[in-house]
Structure 1
């Protein structure tokens, strides 16, 4: 059995005030909670910063300092890939192995666009990764939603070609769930038995939820996946 934590959409900026909230203080509150939980990894699913500046990544690293577990990150549409790599290059990944599970990252970011897209090359690489995965079970993580959110969220800002992604995912029954951020809300969907899980933001939600939060996962050796969204008053 393994545990990991997913946080998303931290939106750390040079100034603490971002989107009418103090994203620095809010993330620090989340970190205070994270350090009390048993965890084998921390996964940040994009939009680590708001404007991708070098200083914002340094500030993010400073806020995350109390976390002793391994940290893994993927880029979101607000991130700058070069500045992200400069500060978090050792945390970028293609695949994380946790016990019987592989967590595989898909790049869904389009340069200069809010919505996501998975290229043919990325899909081909994903298909090969899944074919050659020695893990019993797989998880997929990307930044953008892959299903309609059924909320106030504008689905035009989600993944533009989810049908292309599902054409690959449907070939691999070892995939137990797909995780994402970007929509700043907590939600779960089911598509033909596949769990699809949205992670809330550590900065602010886009719906009526006034708390900040993250997802805490338990991965069992028999393929079961449990998780709980942990909420914190901002």
Structure 2
């Protein structure tokens, strides 16, 4: 059995005291998450960062990420999110340290993990695999139909129930879902981006989960963006040779976020009865 720790959506800045939404520190919560995972999961084998490590695409933001996680005694693989710059990530992580940019195939405890870049080449916040990446994924899955498999990417292929988020999911999510119907060995799709701990079943029977943000969470199922006072968190995954996958979320005790606050127009109240 192996234990993987998934961290996501750190949104770090070049400045160590940089704040998301002008009020929420990004680096301090990540440092607290790093301290917690060392204590709570000393048996972990690997950490995976599922995108949006940076908010401003700066080399300094990735340096802060490496420094925050350097004491974990754990290797980390990173995939990009829509706020990341792949070239800057690759250069920053090539300087040494416990993090490296990784896109491709990983085999652990009888499982096959496929780590993908779901970022739209045009820079849109919504993700896009595109025909070429989907064809490559189809070919990879066709070569090994028997090994239990997970697909890891930043953007979820389905909506979260929040109307404002619909434009930010994987644009060709329907094509990915159709692909999963062909390849039943895919037991899980693991994402970031949602800033909440999604856990649902896709039409193919695969389980879709996301990690909460190490910085700030979004209120689920809202017409406009709301942030909450929920604390930072991260997701753990346990995989064994029998094809069993267990996963859950660890939440910190402290929150750096202000109380519930709307980031857009308030929803229109329903008409009185």
* 2:29 aligned with 1:18: no
Q: Which residue of 2 aligns with 1:80?
A: 85
Q: Where does 1:1-234 land on structure 2 (aligned, <5 Å)?
A: 1-15=1-15, 16-19=17-20, 20-36=23-39, 37=41, 38-89=43-94, 90-110=100-120, 111-133=122-144, 136-151=147-162, 154-192=165-203, 193-207=205-219, 208=228, 210-232=230-252, 233-234=254-255
Is the Cα contact below 8 Å between 1:202 and 1:213 reproduced in 2? yes
Moved more, 16-25 or 127-136: 127-136
| 1:2, distance to aligned residue in structure 2 (A) | 1.3
Say which SS state the counterpart of residue 35 (structure 1) adopts. Answer: helix
Q: 1:206 to 1:142 in 2, by over 3 A?
A: same
Q: 1:188 to 1:209 in 2, by over 3 A?
A: farther
Is the Cα contact below 8 Å between 2:57 and 2:85 reproduced in 1? yes
Q: 1:206 to 1:109 in 2, by over 3 A?
A: same
Instruction: Give deviations 1:24-57, integer Å, cap 9, x for gaps.
Output: 1100000001112121110000001111111111
Say which SS state the counterpart of residue 139 (structure 1) adopts. Answer: strand
Is the Cα contact below 8 Å between 2:118 and 2:129 reproduced in 1? yes
Kindly tell me the number of residue pairs found equivalent between the two proteins. Answer: 234
| Greater C-alpha Rg | 2
| 1:76, distance to aligned residue in structure 2 (A) | 0.4
| 1:167, distance to aligned residue in structure 2 (A) | 2.0
Is the Cα contact below 8 Å between 1:47 and 1:76 reproduced in 2? yes
Unaligned runs of 5+ in 1: none
Moved more, 87-96 or 48-57: 87-96
TM-score (norm 1): 0.94
Is the Cα contact below 8 Å between 1:140 and 1:179 reproduced in 2? yes
CA RMSD of aligned residues (A): 1.6
More relative contact order, 1 or 2 (CA 8 Å, 6+ apart):
1
Say which SS state the counterpart of residue 167 (structure 2) adopts. Answer: helix
Q: 1:145 to 1:55 in 2, by over 3 A?
A: same
Q: 1:168 to 1:134 in 2, by over 3 A?
A: closer
Return the alpha-carbon distance in structure 2 between the equivalents of residues 173 and 139 of structure 1.
11
Return the alpha-carbon distance in structure 2 between the equivalents of residues 172 and 135 of structure 1.
9
Is the Cα contact below 8 Å between 1:102 and 1:135 reproduced in 2? no
Say which SS state the counterpart of residue 163 (structure 1) adopts. Answer: helix
The 4+ residue runs of structure 1 with deviation greater than 3 A are none
Unaligned runs of 5+ in 2: 95-99, 220-227, 256-273
| 1:22, distance to aligned residue in structure 2 (A) | 1.2
